[in-house]
Amino acid sequence: MTRLAGIIGHPVAHSLSPVFQGAAFAQCGLDVRYEAWDTTADALAGRVVSLRDPKYLGANVTIPHKETVIPLLDELGGQSARVGAVNTIVNREGRLYGFNTDGSGFVVALRNEAQFDVAGKAVLLLGAGGAARGIAFALAEARVASIGFWNRTPERAARLAADVARDGAPVHTVSNLDTAGYDCIVNCTSVGMHGGGAEGQAPCDFAAARPTALAVDIVYRPEETPFLRAASAAGLATLGGLPMLIYQGALAFELWTGVRAPVEAMFEAARNALKGERRR
């Protein structure tokens, strides 16, 4: 029997997940089809109930359902309860388990693709939305030296900092955006994202940044954002958003299958799809 997995969100037509997850299942010789399930808020409960059927491995969850899906699940695992968001659902004999692989995928991406270990490092997060939450809790678990939070709405940054501080991580908020003193600067905002309304902008400059700092943008469309261009022009090492996307997906793949994810095949499929988009 062909089993199914997919991504739940609204909209989801733009998602790269079917491309690289499909490639992963094929590479591993698994009879699984991965689909995009555009799901409105009204249809979410019905969609989640359907995942209890034995033919479903589970699903990824994206905007706007990462928080609202939680009451529909049986149990939360990993960091998902603390983060307050789920991006992966696993069907285990009809019971649905929720996980959040965003933050863990981010930490693995830094280690594997930028040779950057976050332990003992000072990190600045720009933004305080769902992605920033997942990353912040993963950084705290990885024992960073400190996390600075900046957001255009300071109250949101303060709330996130307070939540993460409960895990014992040294945190502080940043009012005047200054990149000095950090080992890693992470853009978790939509500034610079294709279709986000601020495509040509960068959320900060790097004039005062440490020359050894790593600049990371979780946006993967475009692959080189204004944030990354500005960091590169200042002489900083950079990392785009595609590795985080792939590694969070790889962790989801392993939760569904118990099989080691073929990361190289996933990267290749995603990059080929992005190249095709650019040619169009």
- CA 116 to CA 112: how far, in whole Å? 8
Instruction: Give yes or no for residue 152 having a pLDDT over 50.
Output: yes
pLDDT, tens only, 169-214: 899 999 888 899 999 999 998 754 444 444 455 567 898 999 999 9
Q: What is the CATH number of the domain that holds 156?
A: 3.40.50.720
pLDDT tens figures, 153-169: 999 999 999 999 988 88
Q: 126 and 220: one domain?
A: yes
88: containing domain: 3-100+243-279
Question: Which CATH number do you get for residue 79?
Answer: 3.40.50.10860
Q: Please state the rounded mean pLDDT for residues 2-27.
A: 97
Question: Do residues 20 and 92 both lie within one domain?
Answer: yes
Confidence at residue 191, expressed as pLDDT on a 0 to 100 scale: 56
Cα–Cα distance measured from residue 98 to residue 38, given in angstroms and rounded to the nearest whole number: 19
Q: What is the pLDDT of residues 54-75, one digit of tens each?
A: 999 999 999 899 999 999 999 9
* Residue 120: predicted pLDDT: 97
Domain count along the chain: 2
CA-nearest of 102, 108, 110 to 215 is: 110
Average pLDDT of the chain to the nearest whole number = 92
My answer on whether 51 and 141 are in the same domain is no
Residues involved in catalysis: 66
Q: Clarify whether residues 181 and 272 are in a common domain.
A: no
CA distance 153 to 120: 28
Cβ contact 103:164 at 8 Å: no
Backbone angles phi, psi at 217, to 5 degrees: -115, 130
Portion of the chain with pLDDT greater than 90, in percent: 82
* Cβ neighbours of 23 (radius 10 Å): 21
What pLDDT score does 244 carry?
97
* pLDDT (0 to 100) of residue 195: 45
The stretch 13-37 carries a mean pLDDT of 97
Quote the pLDDT of residue 202: 59
Is the same domain home to 122 and 236? yes
Q: Tokens in use for 253?
A: 């793949």
DSSP state of 87: S
